[in-house]
A = this chain, B = another copy of it.
Amino acid sequence: MNERPLILVSNDDGYRAKGINSLARVLMEFGDVVVVAPHIGRSGKGCAITSEVPVKVEKVHSEPGLEIYSCTGTPCDCVKLACHAVVSRPPTLVVGGINHGDNSSVNAHYSGTMGVVLEGCMKGIPSVAFSLCSHDPDADFTPTYDVIRKVVSAVLEHGLPKGSCLNVNFPDSPSYSGVRICRQAVGSWVNEWEAHRHPRGGEWWWLTGEYVVEDDDEAADRVALGNNFVAITPTKIDFTDYTLLESMKGWEL
A residues within 8 Å of B by Cβ? 41, 43-52, 54-57, 73-74, 76-77, 80-81, 84-85, 106, 108-110, 115, 118, 122-124, 147, 150-151, 154, 158, 160-161, 163-164, 179, 181-184, 186, 188-189, 192-193, 195-196, 202-207, 232-245, 248-249, 251-253
Taking a contact as CB atoms under 8 Å apart, the answer to whether A49 and B55 are in contact is: no
* 5 A–B pairs (Cβ distance < 8 Å), ordered by A: A150-B252, A150-B253, A163-B186, A233-B240, A235-B239
Chain B residues lying within 8 Å of A202, measured Cβ to Cβ, are 56
* Residues in B whose Cβ lies below 8 Å from that of A161: 241, 243-244
Is A164 a contact of B237 with CB atoms below 8 Å? no
Given known A-B contacts A44-B48, A245-B182, A239 and B108 have beta carbons under 8 A apart: yes
- Quick check: A55 and B204 within 8 Å, CB to CB? yes
How far apart are the CA atoms of A43 and B52 in the complex, in Å?
9
Name A230's closest neighbour in chain B (CB-CB).
B253
Count of this chain's copies in the oligomeric assembly:
2
**Cα-based distance from A235 to B245 in the complex (angstroms):** 9
Interface secondary structure of A, over-half rule:
mixed
Pairwise interchain contact A124-B249, C-beta atoms closer than 8 A: no
Q: Are A183 and B118 in contact (CB under 8 A)?
A: no
User: Which of chain B's residues have a CB closer than 8 A to the CB of A84?
Assistant: 192-193, 205
Q: How far is the CB of A109 from chain B (nearest CB, A)?
A: 4
State the Cβ distance, A143 to closest chain B Cβ, in Å: 15
A192→B80 contact, CB < 8 A: yes
